[in-house]
Homo-oligomer: A and B are copies of this chain.
Amino acid sequence: MTKHIAIIVAGGSGSRMGTKVPKQFHLISDYPVLYHAVDLFSEADLIVVVLHPEYRHYWDDFLERHPETPHHVIVPGGDTRYQSVKNGLNAIPGKTGIVSIHDAARPLASRELVQKAYETALRDGSAVPVIPIEDTVREIDEKGSRIIDRKMLYRVQTPQAFQLPLLREAYEQPFEDHFTDDAALLENMGKKPVFIPGEKYNIKITFPEDFDAASALLRPPPPPY
C-alpha cells in the first residue's frame, strides 16, 4: 500500500478563544483537541505534528500521561500556515506517498473522510473536501446588502490529501499572500485540485461556542428517533 503521511497543523495561537491555554490543548471528552486530530490518523505510516515551540510543554506533559497517543514526530510551526506546512513537509523522508494535511482544530472529521481523501489523492493526485453553503448568502458592506448566488460556493475543509511529489512541487513556490489554502498552491502551478464532499460537522474550533458544540457532537449519539 502506498505510504500515508499526515501533517497535523497545530501552529496557531488561538487568540480568538480569549484563553491562555491554546485551543489545541483544551479538552473534548477528556482528551485535548490535538489528540483527537492525531488519533484520526492512527492508521497512517507517519504522523508529523507541527507545533509552535511555545506550546510544546502542553503536549509533552500530555504525552507523558498518555503513552497510547499514536506515534508521531514534532516539528516547529512557522509564522504562516504555508511555512508550518512546509516545515512539516521537510520532515518527510523519501519521494513517494500520500500526504494528508489536517488542521488540529478540526477534531470532528471522520475516519471515512480521511480514507476517502487518501484514496482520491492516490488515484487523482489530490483531494480537497468542500461542503455547499445551505443558507441564503448575503454580501453586506457599507453600501448595503445583496443576495449572492450560492449555488457554486463551497466551504473548504481539511484533511486535504496530495501525492508527495506534487505537494513538494507546490511548496517550492515562494509564498504569496493569496496562498490561503493548499489548493491555491496547486492552482498557481496551473493544476486543478480534485474536490470531494466534506462533512458539515467537521467544524473548525475557533470560538468558545465551537468548543461546547464539539463536546456535544463527540459524545455518543442519542438513542434512535
Contact = CB atoms under 8 A, between A and B. Distances in A.
Interface in A42-83: none
Interface residues of A, number: 52
A217 B215 contact: no
Nearest to A209: B200
A175 to B, nearest CB: 15
Interface in A198-223: 199-201, 204, 206-207, 209-213, 215-217, 219, 221-222
A155 interface: yes
Interface string A139-151: 1110011111000
A189 interface: no
B152 A139 contact: yes
A217 B212 CA distance: 8
Interface in A166-225: 178, 180-181, 183-184, 187, 192-193, 195, 199-201, 204, 206-207, 209-213, 215-217, 219, 221-222, 225
A3 interface: no
Nearest to A156: B136
Interface string A12-33: 0000000000000011110000
A91 interface: no
B187 A134 contact: no
A28 to B, nearest CB: 8
13 contacts: A136-B155, A137-B156, A138-B195, A140-B195, A144-B187, A145-B195, A147-B181, A148-B153, A215-B225, A216-B216, A216-B217, A216-B219, A219-B219
Interface of A: 26-29, 130, 133-141, 144-148, 152-157, 178, 180-181, 183-184, 187, 192-193, 195, 199-201, 204, 206-207, 209-213, 215-217, 219, 221-222, 225
4 tightest Cβ-Cβ pairs between the two chains A and B: A135-B155, A136-B156, A216-B216, A27-B225
